[in-house]
Amino acid sequence: MDLNQPLAYRVRPKSLEEFVGQEHVLGKDKLLYRTIKADRLSSLILWGPPGCGKTSLAKVISETTKYKFTRINAVTSGVGDIKKAIEEADNRLLNPSGKCILFIDEIHRFNKLQQDALLPYVEDGTVILIGATTENPYFEVNKALISRSMVIKLEPLQKQDIFKVLKNAIANKDGLGNYNIKISDETLETIAEVSGGDVRTALNGLEVAVLTTKMNSEGIIEITDEIASQSLNKRKAMFDKTGDSHYDNISAFIKSMRGSDPDAAVFYLARALNGGEDPVFLARRIVICASEDVGLANPNALVLATSAMQAVAMVGMPEAKIILSEAAVYVAKSKKSNSTYNAINSALADVSSKDTGTIPMHIRNAPASGMEQFGYGQGYKYPHDYPGHWVEQQYLPDKMLGTKYYYEGENDVKN
């Protein structure tokens, strides 16, 4: 083992027994575990955040399969590299099985043409594809490839899993086993916690701490909490403002306001701001929620949310976070009604799919002299001329008479 290679590379598992975490897909009774053990893999798309074990799992497969295993990276490879891998797989002299497992790291980086080049060979079984991606494959990977593959969702590693990997790295001779290290379990747990589910971040932090700390008089490298924290990047919630987590987070933010949970709303707001989300975008979401979910239960919510959006645009960060928090909490705490939301959706469904008739003549516009003789505006009753400023008359087209769109919600403000 080349000890100049990163620690995360040196201590990668070589077998399923050494693999830590992802029990929901790699437990001994799970389908993926059994197919890897039996070397009966079909094409896979491994989907998960950085440092969750996608490449390590591919490495384990490469160690256990009888098929030729080829790895390429979508960032640096193209159609030519795919064709070369296919040609090598088809060479019965060098590869009697006529098949290969092709691991493509960051497969979402391939464009449609490059992904299409794989299809015939995945279809006829020449290639068993294993694609790894941090992006939602249902958005980023060719649908034809998705339909021919098993999509495996990998989760961020749990704190206890990362702790186990760190303990192994310290004891492993390929890892840091040649160093005389003193580090408490509590400090290792802190590293595991701060890494945010990314085992690569945890291992890199541990390695930096060990390599940059001088031995004491007894020849021991002692890693304290302070040294460990200095060696790790500041924890950042998993958030990609252009990727899948962006949509998950904004969905959770809106649903927390709709569900009248101000604490959850502020949490997802903070998560978005910490990840670099556009504060004006967040303000617009609050405005929409104020209308869609609060509605006539508290019409002032829309006024406040709109004012907040204008203030956020004028003030900017970091102070805009205070304005956003106020608006989000106000909307979350408000009574809820979606009566107007349902009304417009029902009306739109009718006008787009039905023959709804024509506008009654008496409420049509008659801007030019002479149109009255054709019935335009004839017979219209001006409500302000009547007691209570209301008079009974027809407004809906004949074909829509009796149709009801607005049903007053129990929380709606009463006039």
The domains of the chain, with CATH numbers, are: 22-153 (3.40.50.300), 159-231 (1.10.8.60), 244-333 (1.20.272.10), 342-400 (1.10.3710)
Stated pTM of the model: 0.66
DSSP of 367-396: -STTGGGGTTTTT---GGGSGGG------S
**Tell me, what's the pLDDT at 8?**
87
Sign of the alpha-carbon torsion through 347, 348, 354, 358: positive
Q: Are 248 and 241 in contact (CB under 8 A)?
A: no
Closest CA to 253 of 328, 193, 192, 317: 328
**Tell me, what's the pLDDT at 134?**
87
| pLDDT beyond 90 at 81 | no
- Mean pLDDT (the chain) is 87
Tokens encoding 316? 């900017």
The span from the CA of 112 to the CA of 140, in Å, is 9
Secondary structure (3-state) at 26: helix
Indicate the residue type of 398: D
CA angle 285, 292, 415 (to 5 degrees): 135
| pLDDT beyond 60 at 234 | no
Element (H, E) at 310: helix 300-315
Q: Are 211 and 181 in contact (CB under 8 A)?
A: no
**Tell me, what's the pLDDT at 239?**
54
- Does 397 sit behind a cis peptide bond, omega within 30 degrees of 0 on the bond before it? no
| pLDDT beyond 80 at 250 | yes
